[in-house]
Amino acid sequence: MASTKSSVRYATALLDLCLEQGKVEEVEADLIRFTVMLSSSKELKILFNSPVIRDDKKIAIYKMLFEEFNQITISFFNLVTKNGREHLLPEIAHQFDRLLKKQRNIVTGTITSSIALDAKTKQSILDKISSTFEGTLALDEVVDESLLGGFIIRIDDKQIDASVSSKLKKMKQELVK
């Protein structure tokens, strides 16, 4: 929990600095590339989590690995590393993305269906529920064959369950009563 609070504070400070200097898109792109690099490299994960490797060595490695990154991103990585919090960088990148979407008024969530939805069906669902949410909806799609049909939408703490499996469960509960 404390690491999440720290990550949010660091992400907020980074976003504020980017907004002030007009470098939001550049830093956003850097953090996306960083996240992709981190997810594809076990060695990079070890580097960020290793207490054995000294800060100055990590900073030198950042300079080589992230040479195309914006100076704000590099300076931020260096600061976080000097504070001994480099293991939080993946979570900071996630929180930065979350805060940026909130600032851009983008509402994120997931839509789970039994089969992959075509664009027309997905847009039809979005059109029907968009009036209940303030902002632009951006839903990640997940396929779960156990739903049998229909869909489940989860946005923040709200859930819209229009799946066949949940309707069957409700019918079963009614019959058992």
Report whether pLDDT(98) > 70.
Answer: yes
Read off the pTM. 0.76
Domain ranges of the chain: 2-102, 107-176
Average pLDDT (65-92) is 94
Domain 2-102 maps to which CATH number in 3.40.50.11540, 3.30.470.20, 3.40.47.10, 1.10.520.20?
1.10.520.20
Q: What is the pLDDT of residues 103-126, one digit of tens each?
A: 999 888 888 988 888 889 888 888
Q: What are the tens digits of pLDDT across the range 14-46?
A: 999 999 999 999 999 999 999 999 999 898 888
- H or E segment to which residue 173 belongs: helix 164-176
Residues 6+ apart with CB under 8 A from 110: 139, 140, 141, 142, 153, 154
